Amino acid sequence: MRVTVYDMIARRFLATLSPPSLSTITEVHLRVGDTAFAAVGQSMVEPGWREILPDEHEVAALPDVQQGQELIVREVRVVEDRTTPPPLHTQGTLLLTMQRLGLGTKSTRHEILDLLFRRQYIGGRSIRTTAAGRALVDALTIYGPDVTDPEMTRHLEDRMTAIAEGRATLAEVVDESRRDLHEVLAELRAHQPSLVRWLRDATFLEKDYGPCDACPDGRMVRRRARNGWAFLGCNRFPACRRRLRLSALGQRLPWAEPEAIPEAMRTPPATPAT
């Protein structure tokens, strides 16, 4: 194990001192009848650092072909398969995407992500949006589309860069930004009742864990005690004081909690209580 780790570290270090790797990418477009196909190949020109740190997923080279050349179709196979979705973002890949789109600065992107996590718009190591996060984006797309357009933030970042480079004055950029934001906020305020109702309903659905088994009209929703422990309680509280255990995975468990919910969550029973 130590030898393997040492080999990986040594190869990566030596690769940083090696010359660049040069390769050519070839893309071939073919047509068989009315169906179009495309193939991509890679040919190595100068191996460079790849001699020390080879790529495990290197693209194979394509045979030499000429434009307009007719090829013989030797075999046709029908393969049944399913497309796979793109991998979920991690914090690292999401930060790179934000950088590519010009969203935030190097010092603010981490703060933006932290805020999204704390407000529970996103969650998980492989990041997924919550119902509240999706509802927020959907609502803003309808009632304030400029807010969800990366171009708005990118333009503001470019204007701040222009101030630093002396191409614009602070007063010019502030006046321009104030004018743009005033129009956006005016549109959001005009639809404020619809936005509030949309987000409130989405937040309830995110927390709804089904009907209360102690009263006819209640719904079990996720609540949080003063010390931070989560549990399920009837939304008709204090008329109904039904409480249930909430597992670490956020699942509703089928046994009732004692009144000391936080203490019981720290020492859950091995079997359902009767």
The model's confidence at residue 35, banded by pLDDT at 50, 70 and 90, is confident
The model's confidence at residue 247, banded by pLDDT at 50, 70 and 90, is low
pLDDT (tens digit, 9 = 90+) per residue, 128-143?
A: 888 778 888 888 888 8
In whole angstroms, what is the distance from residue 62 CA to residue 46 CA? 17
Which pLDDT value is given to residue 139? 84
- Delimit the domains of the chain by residue range: 1-81, 91-199, 212-266
Which pLDDT value is given to residue 57? 62
The model's confidence at residue 254, banded by pLDDT at 50, 70 and 90, is very low
pTM of the model: 0.49
Indicate left, alpha or beta for 250 from its phi (over 0: left) and psi (-120 to 50: alpha): left
Taking Cα atoms as reference points, which of 223, 219, 151, 200 lies closest to residue 180? Answer: 151
Residue 114 has pLDDT above 50, yes or no: yes
Residue range 91-199 forms a domain whose CATH class is mainly alpha
How many residues are present in the chain?
274
For 187, the token pair is 């549109």
